[in-house]
Amino acid sequence: MSVNQTPRPDCSHPADEHAFLTLTMIRNIRLDIEYDGTAYCGWQRQENGRSIQQVLEEAIAVITKSPVALHGSGRTDAGVHALNQTANFQTTVTAHMVAFHRGLNSILPRDIVIKRATEVGPEFHARYSAKSKTYRYVVLNRDTPAALERHCCWFIPQPLALADMRACLPQITGRRDFASFRSAGSSNINPVRTVFQAELDVVDGGRIIFTFTADGFLRHMIRNLVGTIVAVGRKKLTAEDFPAIFAGCDRALAGPRAPAQGLFLVEVHY
């Protein structure tokens, strides 16, 4: 063998051959997914309803001809939407990504769309590789409800005190204990999170857009935050109540939980 040749693995033994083929054929596939969560019980598989994860795993299995375990970046609740959810799975299928992408979208229901399908390195994991996430919450604050957007916003016909609501936002950013905004049943033991962004924008048509970016979110944390801020806008709480709400570490001190349909997972940051 010349010095420029690359040694080939010794596949003379069946076990060695199997190990080599397994090593070279396993592919890690990343999916970037958009979905309308209205008809689903949430992202994660559940016994009591149809989930986004279940529908995707079943569709992928049709393409790959074998069961797969799909790992999402995190859960979204029943009725919550995603503009860019991220998931990954491993497969030995050798299909080209363009064909796989098109084939998968062709059999998925119309409320779930794969925006991108890419092969990534073996170290990538949709959940454990994530650094932060951005969510958006939409409030429709006007006299009349929306027909086409009724599943994508929280309709509030009463006027809201926007200046008071904005005064809450600087108190949310930073590294804080969000126990008062965590719903019962949360699997997170540590309630401390770092919020990098908490913004409120008013756009045409009476839409109030909340944007939150953090290194992680507790169960119903965003919906509880929005519900509390809206309570300030309704004059049922004040921005000055926020320090005591945080310090109390008691869910009962904060405002009600906002409805699920106004919440969108916007981006998972890696």
Fold match, 14-120 / 132-269:
yes
User: In the chain, what are the domain boundaries?
Assistant: 14-120, 132-269
pLDDT at position 189, please?
85
Which two tokens mark 258? 């906002």
Active site residues: 77
User: Which residue, 226, 67, 65, is CA-closest to 53?
Assistant: 67
Identity of the amino acid at 31: L
Q: Which fold has domain 14-120?
A: Alpha-Beta Plaits (3.30.70)
Q: Given this model, what pLDDT does residue 198 score?
A: 98
pLDDT for the residue numbered 3: 43
Q: Please, what's the largest Cα pairwise distance for the chain?
A: 82
Say how far apart CA 172 and CA 246 lie, in whole Å: 9
Token digits of residue 197: 């962004």
Q: Give how far Cα 5 sits from Cα of 8, 24, 211, 250, Å.
A: 9, 19, 56, 67
pLDDT value of residue 184: 82
Backbone dihedral region for residue 185 (phi beyond 0: left; psi -120 to 50: alpha; all else: beta): left
* Of 189, 257, 247, 267, residue with least CA distance to 221: 257
Contact call for residues 211 and 197 (beta carbons, < 8 A): yes
Task: Return the pLDDT at 186.
Answer: 65
**Burial class of residue 51, CB neighbours in 10 A (0-12, 13-18, 19+):** buried
What pLDDT, on the 0 to 100 scale, is given for residue 7? 47
* pLDDT at site 21: 40
Residue 187, pLDDT score: 66
Round to whole Å and give the CA distance between 265 and 78: 13
- CA dist 60 and 65 (Å) reads 8
CB atoms within 10 A of CB 248: 13
Query: How far is Cα 106 from Cα 31, in angstroms, rounded to an integer?
Result: 15
Residue of 135, 124, 40, 120 whose CA lies nearest to 82: 135
Mean pLDDT by 10 residues, the chain (270 residues): 46 43 74 98 93 98 95 96 98 93 97 98 97 98 96 97 98 97 81 98 95 97 98 98 97 97 98
Classify domain 132-269 at the CATH class level: alpha beta
Q: Which helix (H) or strand (E) holds 31?
A: strand 27-35
